[in-house]
Structure 1
């Protein structure tokens, strides 16, 4: 079975041979630089909002949406809230209308996370995570935040060909010195392209501004208070809104939470702890697999040892399977992390691991030296695009992360951190370190940006519902505990599940959420414990 190329994984990236003590001192010195502070409590934002004109989605974004179910609109917001006369950003929204308009009680905005993920499809398919009674009484609105997808997409490349050429030498999990050197050079070239091509929105792609935009969107619907569901990074957007505009919060559900305090104060430490959380989820996955030999094809008394053998073998170079397909350490690491985050892929992952272990075991005791990953990271389809093909992606995820999270502007630090983190988190530490490498040379600096770093404790009229999986590989459970603790008013629902986010996967958590959104009952003051609908094995 061929392993898929790595997707954009939300973990960090690596440094070079500087001493760890020096690295820590350098990080501390940089993180103490002043940051542009947000107004502690905002009573208004930019120009007054006006009602939007809802139209068929095909007329706005050209997507095939059933007009009997949903419609779309564009709402313009200031690009720079400090200088609203300098231009606006068009934000695209999709509204899934309440299925029982006569009983409609309000609007729920949804954000699927990322940062940099489009919210249009999330709203359109809201039945995947919301009860029919909630959908009957609420319009559900998904939107593309500034710089994302249809909302003035922030792009660092002019064509898909430029992207393929620029990405060919960037190895997500570089091990050899040559791989690390190429990745450092290619990443610097990437951020140079961002400086040339991303445009005037680049320094304004922050969660603070996205929260201000969200208030503009709320006002455009006529709702006095915000109804909101945020997943993953969307929990940071929700928490930011709740502390900028606490009196305007109606119901708010945050599922798969970040630690807002750590994320806004120390990007590297936040990323290191995320990698450690992914290791915890992997350990629990392997434990449950070993305990279920009848249904887990990778089970055995030595499940952990077999996994480590695959990973350590891939550190030496790519592995060719009997069917001729090839995988690399980068693809393997991304495949495992992505599969852990999605419970429906847990059995498939076990089969893939079994096949890989069989291939490793069949190799000679001392395999020949392998070539480094190099351009294998890029899919063949990406590497052979025709000249002039428009750039299909956007770079909003990197933009938000590099402006929201403080990172030192010292690329040589990343290989050092990668080696150190790999010792602590042997499967995910190296990838986690190198993922944030673009932030070391990002052309807009975080300490000059409009960014929000607290306070986080302003009370809201109703408690915020915080949901956390105990073995979340993307945003670890401790982050959900932290979110519930630091918010001015919050209740925590814990789900004993391996996977990222719980809504739609746990009838228990869904029932608590439904009662909360319909105003029937707030979550229990002492929190609640839930289980998933389906176990991993």
Structure 2
């Protein structure tokens, strides 16, 4: 997998938080996980008049469906949503989407349902909603008190009829391969995987492979809104989830409620420009990480990376080159290959909170032990001890390349390298090679690209962070300008996304919007 489009990542300690504390809000409602009441007794929204009105008569049966909630994971509610595989043919084949709801912690303060999407594309929304049940993970306690947090696995992802493109062994090799091939043999391996994953999606997933676009997921989102009984959609989308939310707003502007788009994607950019600017974003984040090491040294602690910013960057770049030449052993039966080292390096850059973990991983790698970097890479690609826990890597490819199948042949990559290396001396070559990624795609979308404006929509809050590695700050500025009702909130800081990242100015603005419909001042600087 190459980072051609923004990808949401579940960071290491977040997974531990889910295991330790998931469902806290639901437990507050129920008083424990024994003797759970009838799911029908848990407060939901009373369908508003016209909330189930479909955009076309042929979709009426989908818009009028009732979700059959059942307790799952002990303390959450789960259901399945039926949607058409192809919205052009609503009487044809259908698919099921997995939905999970965490009930509002204070039924007396309940406002309604807040649908969430973690991005990717390809990350399961049900896992994200489950994780969001813990105050501070995604939402503040007042928001969790007032909203049912609802996540769904977008079509082709998680438990929603997932696309399948490669076997687990093939996926291991796909992630581990050199993402910056220098030799003819490495180029042959790389281009072989470009063809293999494209053919695999078509062969192993059938008709579904052609129907996992963002536009179709946005249509599903409106069916979900109707099934939840909401007249308008309240939504929080992070990273790629901002593209999904913006697409929804453009398709259904009259259904837009309180939308928060955090860590925004610039939906107007070409695939090349997205990759080029994202390469620069990760370079900015890496430089900030190295500078923090140097700043600590100024206070008396030695910086293990060197005495200058350039020295620190050079040492990390050399580590990647060394691992490419000689993979590092780990505490298991898999070595740290250079592809894993790349993903193991970029994953902790998503949050400043995980920079200490990156330091541990790099120190171990410098000492010849690749265990921690391999574990970070496995988190990035959703690989567990016994295989992959979801299909997010394959779904990322399928959705991204169906949305925009543009690519270049390997022979054109050398001409792109100067621009990408100027943007990112550390990561530029990887992103340049990523431009070939969709060359093997064998299916095409039935949806036409949209010029996203969301004309007539209610105010939409767009959040950007100044040193966001995955979605550069300029993307939030541009998305807020593109959306006719976009309102920009800026966080001066590091890491991916801005809400509940330690900035009370951002948190207060989002909470006031979600809880009281108080729209922030456009251009608010935090």
TM-score band, normalised by shorter chain: 0.7 to 0.9
- Aligned partners of 2:176 and 2:337 also within 8 Å: no
CA RMSD of aligned residues (A): 3.2
Q: What secondary structure sits across from 1:258 in the alignment?
A: coil
Look up the match of 1:55.
Answer: 69
Distance across 2 between alignment mates of 1:109 and 1:323: 40
- Aligned partners of 1:246 and 1:458 also within 8 Å: yes
Distance across 2 between alignment mates of 1:95 and 1:147: 20
Q: Does 1:93 align with 2:99?
A: yes
Distance across 2 between alignment mates of 1:57 and 1:411: 50
Q: What secondary structure sits across from 1:440 in the alignment?
A: coil
* TM-score, reference length from structure 2: 0.79
Q: Does 1:133 align with 2:142?
A: yes
C-alpha displacement at 1:450, in angstroms?
0.8
Q: Does 1:275 align with 2:279?
A: yes
Q: Does 1:247 align with 2:247?
A: no
Q: Quick check: 189-198 or 391-400, which moved more?
A: 391-400
Q: Quick check: 273-282 or 350-359, which moved more?
A: 350-359
Name which of 193, 205, 213 aligns with 1:186: 193
Q: For residues 358-507 of structure 1, what are the structure 2 equivalents within 5 Å? A: 393=391, 395-408=394-407, 410-414=409-413, 416-418=415-417, 421-445=420-444, 448-461=445-458, 463-506=459-502, 507=504
Q: Quick check: 214-223 or 189-198, which moved more?
A: 189-198
Cα 1:449–1:162 change in 2 (3 A) is same
- Aligned partners of 1:188 and 1:441 also within 8 Å: yes
C-alpha displacement at 1:428, in angstroms?
1.2
- Aligned partners of 2:176 and 2:338 also within 8 Å: no
- Aligned partners of 2:165 and 2:204 also within 8 Å: yes
C-alpha displacement at 1:277, in angstroms?
1.7
Cα 1:174–1:296 change in 2 (3 A) is farther
C-alpha displacement at 1:440, in angstroms?
1.1
Distance across 2 between alignment mates of 1:54 and 1:312: 55
Q: Does 1:288 align with 2:292?
A: yes
Look up the match of 1:147.
Answer: 156
Q: Quick check: 172-181 or 44-53, which moved more?
A: 44-53
Cα 1:241–1:300 change in 2 (3 A) is same
Cα 1:76–1:508 change in 2 (3 A) is same
Look up the match of 1:315.
Answer: 321
- Aligned partners of 1:310 and 1:356 also within 8 Å: no
- Aligned partners of 2:177 and 2:337 also within 8 Å: no
Distance across 2 between alignment mates of 1:187 and 1:323: 28
Q: What secondary structure sits across from 2:291 in the alignment?
A: helix
Distance across 2 between alignment mates of 1:223 and 1:112: 21
Distance across 2 between alignment mates of 1:45 and 1:140: 29
Q: Deviations over 1:114-167 (max 9, x none)?
A: 00000112212323222222222211100000001111101123x434545x63
Distance across 1 between alignment mates of 2:91 and 2:156: 19
Q: For residues 40-51 of structure 1, what are the structure 2 equivalents within 5 Å? A: 43-44=55-56, 47-48=59-60, 49-51=63-65
Cα 1:418–1:77 change in 2 (3 A) is farther
Q: Quick check: 144-153 or 416-425, which moved more?
A: 416-425
Cα 1:135–1:270 change in 2 (3 A) is same
Distance across 2 between alignment mates of 1:500 and 1:411: 31
Distance across 1 between alignment mates of 2:225 and 2:287: 42
Q: What secondary structure sits across from 2:280 in the alignment?
A: helix
Cα 1:520–1:55 change in 2 (3 A) is closer
Distance across 2 between alignment mates of 1:304 and 1:45: 62
* TM-score, reference length from structure 1: 0.77
Q: What secondary structure sits across from 2:283 in the alignment?
A: helix
Q: Quick check: 331-340 or 231-240, which moved more?
A: 331-340
Distance across 2 between alignment mates of 1:518 and 1:100: 13
Cα 1:332–1:408 change in 2 (3 A) is closer
Distance across 2 between alignment mates of 1:428 and 1:518: 41
C-alpha displacement at 1:330, in angstroms?
2.9
Q: Does 1:334 align with 2:337?
A: no
C-alpha displacement at 1:505, in angstroms?
1.3
Name which of 515, 528, 534 aligns with 2:524: 528
C-alpha displacement at 1:269, in angstroms?
2.0
Cα 1:391–1:442 change in 2 (3 A) is farther
